[in-house]
Structure 1
Amino acid sequence: MSTTLPAAALRGRDLYDRVLQELDREQTLGYDHKFWNQNSWRSLHPSQFSHYDQRAWNPGRGRNGTMMCFGALACDLAGGRWLVDVTDSGPTVNGKQLDLLHFRWADLELLHAEPDDHPSHITTLYDHRVIDVEYRAHRLLQVKHLTPFYERRDLDLLRAKRDEIYS
């Protein structure tokens, strides 16, 4: 489930700035509530349990149970609806429980398609039209390449990149 915030209508530099604000806020949170991971688009919050263990699925940790990179956070803040929700009993799609042993971890990085998504980027999975988070992030942030977001976890660097991208 995504977190609906007032950033839903923001695009480009305004959305970029809103993501930076959220990452500033994240710096003040305790470990269980941290949600920024620049190494993966969207993944489970770290746990002492294996991802194949139902106890690792905790929606109370991180951002609805997940960690996100800059681009995924932009999609979440803009109101994107994730295909896979994190629940106490494991991954679900529209309330239907998925088998942990056959679950594809990349499915955590898929969003329900929106009318403005390019048709060539949309596919169908679990009977839902979906788009990879990377394509959505490109559109929302109005950038051709997400190279700045592959950088290390460094807010100052991301602020400097903002000025390069939107100048």
Structure 2
Amino acid sequence: MVAISDGVCRWWDSAGARALVFVLCASLVFHALVLFGKVNSADDTFVGGAFRLWAAMAAFSVTVWVALLGRGVTTTRALSRSWPYARGWWTASIVSYCVVMVAATVTLRGITSGNPYEVPIHHFPALIGVLTLVGAGAGAPWVLAVWLAQERLRRPHRSKPSALKRT
């Protein structure tokens, strides 16, 4: 006899459960963004129209980024277990990634600062900053996985477990 909890656990690991969680998270983020727009808006017509479309795309993007973050952390951990590297390499790589993301953000803000179109929502640049931070965080494990693979190809002699040292 199969217990109900066994069926629930199996269902929770299914594609249907993941789709349900994805849609619920996207809906939650969408409504949070629309609420942010309504609370901080100087133009209710803008929030009722164009902003809702933007919020739907941003909600979808954030939800995908969160899913990618989870998958990326799992992938990077599996890679690092099969080919561990010194703590110094990880620290330097994470710091490098952060510097690259800060430089990219500063560059993008410099490009968009001359935009003549003003969004009639107070604190909108802060919202964009948060979304950028979420996207950068979601990309971090994937970039680190690529850098780790490149390091492995660049130094094949270090790929032997006996030659690796952990610090």
Instruction: Specify if TM > 0.5.
Output: no
How would you bin the TM-score normalised by the shorter chain? under 0.3
Q: Of Structure 1 and Structure 2, which has the larger fraction of its residues in helix?
A: 2
TM-score (norm 1): 0.22
Instruction: Identify the structure with bigger relative contact order (alpha carbons < 8 Å, sequence gap 6+).
Output: 2
Larger C-alpha radius of gyration, 1 or 2? Answer: 2
TM-score (norm 2): 0.22
